Chain A
Amino acid sequence: MRKVVGLIAFLVLLGFLVWGVLLIHPFGYPSPAYMDDYIIENAQEETGNNNVVASVVFDYRGFDTLGEATILFTAVTGVLLVLRTLKRKEEDS
C-alpha cells in the first residue's frame, strides 16, 4: 500500500517538473535584466575589480557572504560538538 502511494507521488512530481521545464524561455535568450546590465557596465569604475563575479559576491551582495560564513562556522561547531568523548576519570570517589 505504501509503495503504491509512493509511486503515484513520484510520477506526479516527475510529470510536473518536465512539463514546467518546457514552458520556460528557450535556452540562451532570456528576458532583459536591467540589474545585470548595470553591474556589467559599472563594476570596473566603482569597485576597481576585473572579476565581476568576485565583486558581486564581496561588494554588491556582501551581506549574503557574511551570512554564509556564519553558517559555515555554526556547522563546524556542531560537528565538533557531536563527535566528542569525554575522558572519564576513574579515580572519582
Chain B
Amino acid sequence: MLSKMVRTVANQLIVFIVIFGLYVIAHGQVTPGGGFQGGAVIVSGVVMLLVAFNARELKKSLRESRLSIMESTGALIFAALAFAGIATAFFYNLLVGTPIFGHVPPTGANPGDIWTGGVVPLMNLAVGIKVVAGLSAVVLAMALFSSGEEVEE
C-alpha cells in the first residue's frame, strides 16, 4: 500500500481512464479502435489500481466469481450474434438496412455517423467485455499468488 497522495490521485484518475476506454470501444466503426484496443486501455487502469492499493484490498471489490460470469457472457453473446443469420450464411451481416445500426454511409470521404455498421458495434461490445474480464482475472491471480496464498474456488 503506497502513500496517501498516490492513493488519492489513483482514485480520481480511474474515472477518466474508464471513460476513455469506453469511448474507444463505442466508436469502433468510425475511428481506429474497436473491442480489443479499448479493452486493453481499461485493463491498464485496473493495473494502476493494483499497484496503488494492496492486492487483498482490491479482492474485496473485484471478486473472481463475478469476473468469470462476465467473461462467459461476453463469449456467449459473440457466438449468438454469429449464429443469428444462419439462414443465409454463417457470420451474415443481417442488420444492414434495418433501423437498428443500419444506415448506409455515402461512398467516398464523409464525416462519420455512429449509427452505421450492422452487427459490428454489438460484436465490439461483446469482445470488449470479454477482454476486460479475462485479463483482469489473470493479473489479479498473479498478484495474489505472489503475496498471499488464499486464491480459492
Q: Do A and B come from one complex?
A: yes
B138 in contact with A79 (CB, 8 Å): yes
A69 in contact with B75 (CB, 8 Å): yes
Which residues on B sit within 8 Å (CB–CB) of A44? 104-105, 107
B131 in contact with A47 (CB, 8 Å): no
Q: In the complex, identify which listed stretch (B4-12, B15-23, B47-55, B116-124) lies at the interface while the others stay far away.
A: B116-124
Which residues on B sit within 8 Å (CB–CB) of A84? 151
For chain B residues 93-151, which have a beta carbon within 8 Å of chain A? Answer: 93, 96, 102-105, 107, 110, 112-113, 116-120, 123-124, 127, 130-131, 134-135, 137-138, 141-142, 144-145, 149-151
CB distance from B40 to the nearest CB of A (A): 12
A58 in contact with B32 (CB, 8 Å): no
B110 in contact with A58 (CB, 8 Å): no
B82 in contact with A73 (CB, 8 Å): no
Is B58 close to A, CB under 8 A? no
Which residues on B sit within 8 Å (CB–CB) of A46? 93, 96
Report the count of interface residues on A (CB-CB < 8 A).
29
Which residues on B sit within 8 Å (CB–CB) of A80? 64, 137-138, 141
B93 in contact with A53 (CB, 8 Å): no
Total number of residue pairs linking A and B with CB closer than 8 Å: 102
Which residues on A sit within 8 Å (CB–CB) of B96? 46-48
Residue of A nearest to B79 (CB): A66
Which residues on A sit within 8 Å (CB–CB) of B137? 76, 80
In angstroms, Cα B151 to Cα A80, docked, is 9
A50 in contact with B134 (CB, 8 Å): no
B75 in contact with A73 (CB, 8 Å): yes
A50 in contact with B110 (CB, 8 Å): yes
Partner of B104, one of A48, A65, A86: A48
CB distance from A14 to the nearest CB of B (A): 33
Which residues on B are within 8 Å of A, measured CB to CB? 28-32, 34, 64, 71, 75, 78-79, 82, 90-91, 93, 96, 102-105, 107, 110, 112-113, 116-120, 123-124, 127, 130-131, 134-135, 137-138, 141-142, 144-145, 149-152
Closest A-B pairs by Cβ, 4 of them = A62-B91, A76-B134, A83-B145, A48-B96
